[in-house]
Amino acid sequence: MRPPVHQLEYFVAVAETGQFTRAADRVHVAQPSVSAQVRQLERALGTALFHRGPGPVTLTEAGEALLPLARRVLADLADMATTVAELDGLQRGHVAIGATPSISTALVPTILRSFHDRHPKVTIAVSEQGSQRLVEGLESGALHLALAILPIGRSTLACTPLADEDLVVVRSRRKSRHLVRRGEREVALKALRGIPMVMFRAGYELRTATLRACADAGFEPTIAVEGGELSGVLSLVAEGLGVAIVPSMVATGPDLVRLPLRAPALTRRIGLVRPADRELSRAAGAQADTVTSLVCDARWPGPVPVGLRLLRHRR
């Protein structure tokens, strides 16, 4: 038997006030309705809950046993309502967002800063992975959103293009034994033939893009060091171990020189990816709106990273 919530509410009000009239005032219901609902509760439970007399009503043994249970049920329902209201109003919540390493370094801090300023009570978890791992996280439900390299090519995921970015060559500013004459401001891809290169580890889209570009230009790269993560590759280049092809927005630092590629230029497209068949939570939806607002609606705060072209379009 599951008594209606309002019967428990009326029961607690009578128990705490000692009078049906005062209980009715507390719950804003006519006194006969309170009396009738409490009697229905007693009939359903098969026992009296109150001793009724000329003075204040008092609890029976059954009423004493029910009171803490009823209070707990009403408190849990109040907590549930508060939680839902807070989630709906983004007074609490959680977002798990993934990004590739270069996007995580260059774009995610600005995006999360903007979101946190609007919704400071929503917690955020960031996962830095390659696009394939991000796809797996989205499909499993471990991630709500991801900033990844397009195309994804999965019918289970919906993608919003955000920006196009140049890939560039970086070399050491101080220790440039390789490549390029010092005064050269750009480099043809075929000029990398025979030049020592620092290569990303397997699984990086940048490794795949570099190997494909070199193959299209008719040569295999000369790999001096391989297996690096993004920060490690940039550090090795700065130390003069070789050159690397990297996203323009991370080709920064006092020890690095950025050289745009020509013949051909290399670009990649960055997109916001989300599950296609699953509705986002309020918090994740607000995070997605923040991303598209910053990029698509031309509200990026401050200078746009060099080599990045935001795809400003209507959503």
Q: Find the CATH number of the domain harbouring 76.
A: 1.10.10.10
Same domain for 65 and 187? no
Q: Is residue 83 part of a domain?
A: yes
Q: What is the mean pLDDT of residues 57-85?
A: 81
pLDDT confidence of residue 75: 77
Give the domain extent around 19: 5-88
The kind and range of the H/E element at 163 are strand 157-172
In contact, 95 and 283? CB cutoff 8 Å? yes
Q: Does the pTM exceed 0.85?
A: no
Q: Last residue of a domain, which of 64, 88, 112?
A: 88
Percent of the chain with pLDDT over 90: 37
pLDDT confidence of residue 181: 54
For strands 123-128 and 308-310, give the pairing: unpaired
Closest CA to 146 of 271, 230, 249: 271
**pLDDT tens sequence across 56-67:** 899 999 989 999
**pLDDT tens sequence across 164-193:** 999 999 999 876 655 555 556 788 888 899
The CA radius of gyration of the chain, in Å to the nearest whole number, is 32
Same domain for 118 and 60? no
CB-based contacts of 279, cutoff 8 Å, min separation 6: none
3-state secondary structure of 200: strand
Same domain for 152 and 128? yes
Q: Is residue 153 part of a domain?
A: yes
Place of tokens 């101080």: 174
Q: Is the pLDDT of residue 283 over 90?
A: no
Same domain for 258 and 204? yes
Q: What is the mean pLDDT of residues 125-148?
A: 91
Least-confidence region, from 156-170, 183-197, 203-217 = 183-197
**pLDDT tens sequence across 111-127:** 999 988 888 888 899 99
**pLDDT tens sequence across 10-54:** 998 999 888 998 988 888 889 999 899 899 998 988 999 999 888
Q: Last residue of a domain, which of 252, 267, 282?
A: 267
Q: What's the CA gap between 280 and 208, in Å, rounded?
A: 32
Same domain for 70 and 10? yes
Q: What is the mean pLDDT of residues 297-314?
A: 77
Same domain for 243 and 170? yes
Same domain for 170 and 295? no
Q: What's the CA gap between 13 and 17, in Å, rounded?
A: 6
| Confidence grade of residue 1 (pLDDT, cut at 50, 70, 90) | low
Sign of the dihedral through C-alpha 235, 238, 240, 246: positive
Q: Is residue 293 part of a domain?
A: yes
Q: Is residue 199 part of a domain?
A: yes
For strands 157-172 and 244-247, give the pairing: antiparallel
Please count the structural domains in the chain: 3
Phi then psi for residue 242, to 5 deg, are: 165, -175
DSSP string, 71-129: HHHHHHHHHHHHHHHHHHTTSS-EEEEEE-HHHHHHTHHHHHHHHHHH-TTSEEEEEE-
In contact, 165 and 270? CB cutoff 8 Å? yes
pLDDT confidence of residue 315: 47
Same domain for 252 and 273? no
For strands 266-275 and 196-200, give the pairing: unpaired
CATH of residue 106? 3.40.190.10
Q: What's the CA gap between 297 and 100, in Å, rounded?
A: 23
Same domain for 73 and 202? no
Q: Which residues of 168-204 are buried (b: 16+ CB within 10 A; e: fewer)?
A: bbbbbeeeeebbbeeeeeebebebbeebbbbbbeeeb
Q: Is residue 281 part of a domain?
A: yes
Q: What is the mean pLDDT of residues 198-224?
A: 91
3-state secondary structure of 12: helix
Q: Is residue 315 part of a domain?
A: no
| Confidence grade of residue 82 (pLDDT, cut at 50, 70, 90) | low
Q: Is the pLDDT of residue 85 over 60?
A: no
Q: Is the pLDDT of residue 72 over 60?
A: yes
Share of the chain residues as helix, strand and coil, in percent rounded to the nearest 5 = 45, 25, 35
- Exposed/middle/buried for residue 50 (C-beta within 10 Å: 0-12, 13-18, 19+): buried
Q: How far is CA 283 from the centre of its chain?
A: 8
Q: Last residue of a domain, which of 267, 284, 299?
A: 267
Phi then psi for residue 58, to 5 deg, are: -125, 160
| Confidence grade of residue 130 (pLDDT, cut at 50, 70, 90) | confident
Same domain for 256 and 200? yes
HSE, side-chain direction, 13 A CA sphere, residue 161: 14
Closest CA to 234 of 188, 207, 199: 199
Same domain for 138 and 227? no
Same domain for 128 and 69? no
Q: Is residue 248 part of a domain?
A: yes
